[in-house]
Structure 1
Amino acid sequence: MSLAETVSKMDRLSDEERECIEICNEAAEVCEWCADECLGDEEMETCARLCRDVADIASLHARFMARGSNYSTQLAEACAGVCEECAEECARHDADHCQLCAEVLEECAEHCRGMIN
């Protein structure tokens, strides 16, 4: 069973929460890949560091939403902020992995902003 199928069975979550969990997990994965691709290039150090921050906070936010934590709103705000900052950094680079990462992060930030009450 895929992660999306598992998330879709969490009946206490709204469609918006399910979508946010999915995009947060996607953001974490693409950021891990982007950070790995940036390693070893001094000019890409900021990108790699921000991607690692996003990977950690996005996966944490997804887990907090999945369990209905009272702190998921605060994490949504933090996740959106770091996604936006990282998307801006990634967009500055021509590498395909950075461009794809920037696209996913813009979407993730938008979904996370939608989770802020």
Structure 2
Amino acid sequence: MALTEIPHVGENDEMAECIDDCLEAAQACEWCADECAQLGDEDMARCIQLCRDVADLAVLHAQFMARDSGYRKQIARVCAGVCEECAEECERHDHEHCQVCADVVSDCAETCREMAD
């Protein structure tokens, strides 16, 4: 089912965009965390942890939006905050996967902030 077929999402372009951004962030973070883990560098531990946190929260936020949960704004605030922290951490590392992840989670943070307001 396309997102636009869900009545409360189809009528809200911002929500549809945020769901897409959340799901993209989850994918980028899973990839980044896996790549960082393979490096075996202890300096990457915080990056891995934040990426995994974002992946879980972003999927949860997308689910809450899809079901029109009354708690979606609270989840949006938390997701935006963790995305911002993750982007800052990923930006510290020169690895391509970290840089890509930082860009993707920054976009997610922005749309989540919009959904929280």
Partner residue, 1:29: 27
Partner residue, 1:52: 52
CA distance in 1, matches of 2:54, 2:5: 26
Structure with the larger helix share = 2
CA distance in 2, matches of 1:63, 1:82: 17
Aligned-residue offset at 1:43: 1.2
Aligned-residue offset at 1:88: 0.1
Residues 17-72 of structure 1: per-residue CA shift (max 9 Å, x gap): 00000000000000000000011221111100000000000000000000000000
Alignment identity in percent? 60
Partner residue, 1:12: 8
Q: Secondary structure at the match of 1:68?
A: coil
CA distance in 1, matches of 2:64, 2:75: 8
Partner residue, 2:113: 113
Instruction: Provide TM-score, normalisation by structure 1.
Output: 0.93
Residue 38 (structure 1) aligned with residue 36 (structure 2)? yes
CA distance in 2, matches of 1:95, 1:71: 35
Spell out structure 1 runs of 4+ moving beyond 2 A.
Answer: none
CA distance in 1, matches of 2:110, 2:28: 16
Gaps of at least 5 residues in structure 1 are none
CA distance in 2, matches of 1:94, 1:81: 22
Q: Secondary structure at the match of 1:12?
A: helix
Number of aligned residue pairs: give it: 113
Q: Secondary structure at the match of 1:69?
A: coil
Gaps of at least 5 residues in structure 2 are none
